[in-house]
C-alpha cells in the first residue's frame, strides 16, 4: 500500500495507524535515507502503543526499549557493521520477542528478519513530500 505524506504530522499519523494494528511479536523494518522521517513515523507508532517517553532515534545506543500497552524495541542499525556485530550485542532476541520491534536500517540484517516482517519504505520527493510504502499489513 502506498501513501503520500505532505508533512511531519501526516507521517506521524500514519505511524499511529500502523501502531494501532501492532500485535506482540511484530517486526517492522523502517527503510529510508537520513532525514526521511523514520523517527517521525516511529513517534506516531509509539503514541499508538501508549508510550509516554520521548522517542529519539537510538543511533548511539543502538537499541532503546519503551514500555507501553506493548513493549517497543526501537533499533537504529546505522552504525552496525555486520550481522555478526548485531548478534554480539544480543539484537536477534528482540526480533523474536513479545513486543513490537522497530528496526531502522534493517537492510544490514536482512537475512535475520522474520518472514512476517512488515516493511515500511520512505522516499523523499523533490518537493519534500514523502512517499511511504507499507508491505505486510494494511493500515
User: What pLDDT score does 57 carry?
Assistant: 78
Q: What is the pLDDT of residue 139?
A: 60
User: Average pLDDT by consecutive 10-residue portion of the chain (139 residues)?
Assistant: 97 97 96 91 97 83 91 92 91 91 93 95 96 87
Within 36-128, strands assigned E span 63-66, 72-76, 100-104, 118-124
Q: Domain ranges in the chain?
A: 2-135
Write down the pLDDT at residue 35: 87
Q: Which class for 12: exposed (0-12), middle (13-18), buried (19 or more C-beta within 10 A)? A: buried
Options 3.40.50.1820, 2.30.40.10, 3.40.50.300, 3.40.470.10; CATH for 2-135 is 3.40.50.300
Amino acid at each position: 500500500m502506498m501513501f503520500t505524506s505532505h508533512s511531519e504530522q501526516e507521517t506521524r499519523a500514519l505511524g499511529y495507524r500502523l501502531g494501532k494494528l501492532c500485535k506482540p511479536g511484530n517486526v517492522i523494518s523502517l527503510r529510508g535515507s537520513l532525514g526521511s522521517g523514520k523517527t517521525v513515523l516511529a513517534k506516531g507508532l509509539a503514541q499508538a502503543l501508549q508510550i509516554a517517553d520521548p522517542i529519539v532515534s537510538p543511533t548511539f545506543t543502538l537499541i532503546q526499549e519503551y514500555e507501553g500497552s506493548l513493549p517497543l524495541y526501537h533499533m537504529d542499525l546505522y552504525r552496525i557493521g555486520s550481522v555478526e556485530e548485531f548478534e554480539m550485542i544480543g539484537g536477534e532476541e528482540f526480533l523474536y520477542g513479545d513486543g513490537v520491534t522497530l528496526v531502522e536500517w534493517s537492510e544490514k540484517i536482512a537475512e535475520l528478519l522474520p518472514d512476517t516482517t512488515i516493511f515500511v519504505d520512505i522516499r523523499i520527493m523533490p518537493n519534500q513530500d514523502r512517499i511511504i510504502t507499507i508491505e505486510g499489513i494494511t493500515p
